[in-house]
Protein backbone atom coordinates (compact mmCIF):
# COMPACT_ATOMS: atom_id res chain seq x y z
CA UNK A 1 0.00 0.00 0.00
CA UNK A 2 1.56 3.27 -1.15
CA UNK A 3 -0.15 6.39 0.17
CA UNK A 4 1.03 9.80 -1.01
CA UNK A 5 0.35 13.12 0.72
CA UNK A 6 0.38 16.19 -1.46
CA UNK A 7 -0.54 19.84 -0.99
CA UNK A 8 0.95 23.30 -1.15
CA UNK A 9 3.56 24.40 1.39
CA UNK A 10 2.21 24.70 4.93
CA UNK A 11 -0.76 22.37 4.38
CA UNK A 12 0.32 20.25 7.36
CA UNK A 13 1.54 17.18 5.53
CA UNK A 14 4.31 16.20 7.95
CA UNK A 15 2.13 16.62 11.07
CA UNK A 16 -0.74 14.69 9.53
CA UNK A 17 1.52 11.90 8.28
CA UNK A 18 2.89 11.45 11.80
CA UNK A 19 -0.64 11.29 13.25
CA UNK A 20 -1.77 8.77 10.63
CA UNK A 21 1.34 6.67 11.18
CA UNK A 22 0.73 6.44 14.94
CA UNK A 23 -2.92 5.50 14.41
CA UNK A 24 -2.11 2.80 11.85
CA UNK A 25 0.59 1.36 14.12
CA UNK A 26 -1.81 1.37 17.08
CA UNK A 27 -4.08 -0.73 14.84
CA UNK A 28 -1.34 -3.27 14.23
CA UNK A 29 -0.05 -2.19 10.84
CA UNK A 30 3.60 -1.79 9.88
CA UNK A 31 4.29 1.70 8.53
CA UNK A 32 7.23 3.33 6.81
CA UNK A 33 7.37 7.05 6.03
CA UNK A 34 9.33 8.82 3.32
CA UNK A 35 9.92 12.48 2.50
CA UNK A 36 10.69 14.11 -0.85
CA UNK A 37 13.03 15.84 -1.47
CA UNK A 38 15.05 13.19 0.38
CA UNK A 39 18.21 13.67 2.45
CA UNK A 40 20.38 12.27 -0.35
CA UNK A 41 23.15 14.33 -2.00
CA UNK A 42 20.66 15.23 -4.72
CA UNK A 43 18.04 16.23 -2.14
CA UNK A 44 20.56 18.51 -0.42
CA UNK A 45 21.40 20.18 -3.71
CA UNK A 46 17.68 20.66 -4.40
CA UNK A 47 17.16 22.44 -1.07
CA UNK A 48 20.00 24.83 -1.87
CA UNK A 49 18.61 25.63 -5.31
CA UNK A 50 15.10 26.20 -3.88
CA UNK A 51 16.47 29.20 -1.99
CA UNK A 52 17.76 30.93 -5.13
CA UNK A 53 15.79 34.05 -6.01
CA UNK A 54 15.48 32.77 -9.59
CA UNK A 55 14.03 29.37 -8.57
CA UNK A 56 10.76 29.98 -10.41
CA UNK A 57 12.37 30.90 -13.75
CA UNK A 58 11.96 28.48 -16.62
CA UNK A 59 15.63 27.51 -16.69
CA UNK A 60 15.90 26.72 -12.98
CA UNK A 61 12.51 24.99 -12.93
CA UNK A 62 13.69 22.65 -15.71
CA UNK A 63 16.87 21.95 -13.72
CA UNK A 64 14.79 21.24 -10.62
CA UNK A 65 12.54 18.92 -12.65
CA UNK A 66 15.61 16.81 -13.50
CA UNK A 67 16.94 16.84 -9.95
CA UNK A 68 13.63 15.93 -8.30
CA UNK A 69 13.27 12.99 -10.72
CA UNK A 70 16.82 11.84 -9.93
CA UNK A 71 16.29 12.20 -6.18
CA UNK A 72 13.11 10.12 -6.46
CA UNK A 73 14.87 7.42 -8.49
CA UNK A 74 17.29 6.90 -5.59
CA UNK A 75 14.48 5.74 -3.25
CA UNK A 76 12.49 3.66 -5.75
CA UNK A 77 13.36 0.33 -4.16
CA UNK A 78 11.92 1.45 -0.80
CA UNK A 79 8.44 1.50 -2.34
CA UNK A 80 8.39 -2.20 -3.10
CA UNK A 81 7.81 -3.56 0.42
CA UNK A 82 4.44 -5.35 0.14
CA UNK A 83 4.04 -5.93 3.88
CA UNK A 84 4.17 -2.29 4.89
CA UNK A 85 1.97 0.74 4.50
CA UNK A 86 4.31 3.25 2.91
CA UNK A 87 3.36 6.88 3.42
CA UNK A 88 5.19 9.51 1.43
CA UNK A 89 5.38 13.25 2.03
CA UNK A 90 5.25 14.32 -1.65
CA UNK A 91 5.94 12.34 -4.86
CA UNK A 92 6.24 12.87 -8.62
CA UNK A 93 2.81 14.50 -8.36
CA UNK A 94 4.61 17.47 -6.70
CA UNK A 95 6.79 17.76 -9.80
CA UNK A 96 3.70 17.80 -12.02
CA UNK A 97 2.12 20.49 -9.81
CA UNK A 98 5.20 22.72 -9.32
CA UNK A 99 7.37 22.23 -12.44
CA UNK A 100 6.73 22.70 -16.16
CA UNK A 101 6.23 21.74 -18.94
CA UNK A 102 3.87 18.92 -18.01
CA UNK A 103 4.72 16.55 -20.89
CA UNK A 104 8.43 16.73 -20.15
CA UNK A 105 7.94 16.25 -16.39
CA UNK A 106 5.77 13.22 -17.21
CA UNK A 107 8.59 11.72 -19.34
CA UNK A 108 11.21 12.32 -16.62
CA UNK A 109 8.97 10.53 -14.13
CA UNK A 110 7.98 7.66 -16.40
CA UNK A 111 9.24 5.09 -13.88
CA UNK A 112 7.93 6.79 -10.75
CA UNK A 113 5.45 4.65 -8.80
CA UNK A 114 1.78 5.68 -8.90
CA UNK A 115 0.13 5.90 -5.49
CA UNK A 116 -2.62 3.50 -4.41
CA UNK A 117 -4.16 6.49 -2.67
CA UNK A 118 -3.46 10.22 -3.00
CA UNK A 119 -4.39 12.40 -0.03
CA UNK A 120 -4.55 15.99 -1.21
CA UNK A 121 -4.45 18.47 1.67
CA UNK A 122 -6.19 21.45 0.14
CA UNK A 123 -5.27 24.70 1.85
CA UNK A 124 -6.18 28.31 1.12
CA UNK A 125 -3.17 29.99 -0.54
CA UNK A 126 -3.19 33.02 1.78
CA UNK A 127 -3.04 30.70 4.80
CA UNK A 128 -0.19 28.80 3.17
CA UNK A 129 1.90 31.94 2.72
CA UNK A 130 1.18 33.07 6.29
CA UNK A 131 2.22 29.66 7.68
CA UNK A 132 5.48 29.22 5.76
CA UNK A 133 8.85 30.81 6.39
CA UNK A 134 9.06 32.43 2.95
CA UNK A 135 12.61 31.02 2.74
CA UNK A 136 11.90 29.10 -0.44
CA UNK A 137 11.17 31.13 -3.55
CA UNK A 138 8.06 28.99 -4.19
CA UNK A 139 6.42 30.28 -1.03
CA UNK A 140 4.58 33.21 -2.64
CA UNK A 141 0.90 33.71 -3.33
CA UNK A 142 0.92 33.96 -7.10
CA UNK A 143 3.04 30.86 -7.66
CA UNK A 144 1.14 28.76 -5.12
CA UNK A 145 -2.24 29.74 -6.61
CA UNK A 146 -1.16 28.02 -9.83
CA UNK A 147 0.20 25.02 -7.93
CA UNK A 148 -3.07 24.60 -6.01
CA UNK A 149 -5.09 24.67 -9.25
CA UNK A 150 -2.73 22.12 -10.81
CA UNK A 151 -3.21 19.79 -7.82
CA UNK A 152 -6.99 19.90 -8.03
CA UNK A 153 -6.82 18.89 -11.72
CA UNK A 154 -4.08 16.29 -11.24
CA UNK A 155 -5.94 14.53 -8.42
CA UNK A 156 -8.52 13.31 -10.95
CA UNK A 157 -5.89 10.99 -12.47
CA UNK A 158 -5.47 8.97 -9.28
CA UNK A 159 -7.54 7.25 -6.63
CA UNK A 160 -7.74 10.27 -4.37
CA UNK A 161 -9.33 12.08 -1.46
CA UNK A 162 -9.33 15.88 -1.17
CA UNK A 163 -9.16 16.95 2.47
CA UNK A 164 -9.99 20.49 3.59
CA UNK A 165 -6.74 21.48 5.33
CA UNK A 166 -8.15 24.81 6.58
CA UNK A 167 -9.91 22.90 9.37
CA UNK A 168 -8.37 22.27 12.79
CA UNK A 169 -5.63 19.67 13.12
CA UNK A 170 -7.85 16.99 14.75
CA UNK A 171 -10.67 17.34 12.24
CA UNK A 172 -8.17 17.07 9.37
CA UNK A 173 -6.66 14.00 11.02
CA UNK A 174 -9.99 12.21 11.42
CA UNK A 175 -10.97 13.03 7.81
CA UNK A 176 -7.70 11.45 6.67
CA UNK A 177 -8.20 8.34 8.84
CA UNK A 178 -11.69 7.85 7.41
CA UNK A 179 -10.29 8.09 3.87
CA UNK A 180 -7.49 5.61 4.60
CA UNK A 181 -9.32 3.11 6.87
CA UNK A 182 -11.13 0.97 4.31
CA UNK A 183 -8.05 0.89 2.06
CA UNK A 184 -6.01 -0.81 4.78
CA UNK A 185 -8.77 -3.08 6.10
CA UNK A 186 -9.83 -0.94 9.08
CA UNK A 187 -13.34 0.26 9.89
CA UNK A 188 -14.07 3.82 8.63
CA UNK A 189 -17.05 4.20 11.02
CA UNK A 190 -14.80 3.45 13.98
CA UNK A 191 -12.78 6.64 13.40
CA UNK A 192 -13.67 9.47 15.78
P1 LIG B 1 8.76 20.75 1.34
O2 LIG B 1 8.03 19.47 1.47
O3 LIG B 1 7.97 22.00 1.46
O4 LIG B 1 10.01 20.81 2.29
P5 LIG B 1 10.21 21.76 3.59
O6 LIG B 1 9.15 21.34 4.55
O7 LIG B 1 11.61 21.42 4.01
O8 LIG B 1 10.06 23.18 3.09
O9 LIG B 1 9.46 20.69 -0.09
C10 LIG B 1 10.30 21.68 -0.54
C11 LIG B 1 9.77 22.35 -1.78
O12 LIG B 1 10.00 21.56 -2.94
C13 LIG B 1 8.28 22.67 -1.78
O14 LIG B 1 8.11 24.06 -2.07
C15 LIG B 1 7.74 21.87 -2.93
C16 LIG B 1 8.91 21.66 -3.82
N17 LIG B 1 8.86 20.46 -4.70
C18 LIG B 1 8.79 20.63 -6.07
O19 LIG B 1 8.73 21.76 -6.57
N20 LIG B 1 8.80 19.53 -6.89
C21 LIG B 1 8.89 18.26 -6.39
O22 LIG B 1 8.90 17.27 -7.17
C23 LIG B 1 8.95 18.10 -4.95
C24 LIG B 1 9.06 16.73 -4.37
C25 LIG B 1 8.95 19.24 -4.15
Rounded CA separation 145/151 (Å)? 10
- Asked whether residue 68 is domain-assigned, the answer is yes
Smallest Cα–Cα separation from 181: which of 8, 26, 14, 12? 26
What confidence tens digit (pLDDT) does each residue in 27-36 have? 999 999 999 9
Give the residue among 106, 144, 140, 188 at the shortest CA–CA distance from 8: 144
Q: Does a cis peptide bond (omega within 30 degrees of 0) precede residue 101?
A: yes
Under a CB-based contact definition with an 8 Å cutoff, are residues 79 and 3 in contact?
A: no
**Residue 144 domain-assigned (yes or no):** yes
Domain annotation covers residue 188: no
What's the number of domains the chain is made of? Answer: 1
What number does the ligand 1 atom closest to the CA of 36 have? 24
Mean pLDDT of 171-184: 97
User: Domain for residue 34, yes or no?
Assistant: yes
Residue 190 resides in a domain: no
What atom in ligand 1 is closest to the CA of residue 37? 24
Q: Does some domain include residue 161?
A: yes
Q: How far is the CA of 36 from the centre of ligand 1 (A)?
A: 7
Distance 133 CA to ligand 1 centre (A): 13
- CA of residue 61 to ligand 1 center, whole Å: 12
What CATH code is carried by the domain that includes residue 127? 3.40.50.300
Domain assignment of residue 64, given as a range: 2-181
Residue 190 clears pLDDT 90, i.e. is over it? no
Pair 137, 53: CB distance under 8 Å? yes
Across 162-180, average pLDDT: 98
pTM of the model: 0.96
Measured from CB, residues less than 6 Å from any atom of ligand 1 are 9, 36-37, 50, 68, 90, 94-95, 98-99, 136, 138
- Judge whether 59 lies within some domain: yes
Is a pLDDT exceeding 90 seen at residue 144? yes
- Confirm whether 114 is domain-assigned: yes
Bond into 154 cis (ω within 30): no
Instruction: Out of 6-15, 119-128, 182-191, pick the least confident.
Output: 182-191
Ligand 1, pocket-test mutation among 7, 69, 87, 98, most atoms within 8 A of CB = 98
Amino acid sequence: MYIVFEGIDGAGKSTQIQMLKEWLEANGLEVETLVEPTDSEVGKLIRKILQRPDATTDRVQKTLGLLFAADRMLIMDKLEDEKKVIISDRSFISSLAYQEPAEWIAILNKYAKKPDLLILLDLDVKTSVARTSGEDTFENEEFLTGVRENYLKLAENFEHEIINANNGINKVSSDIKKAVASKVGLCPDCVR
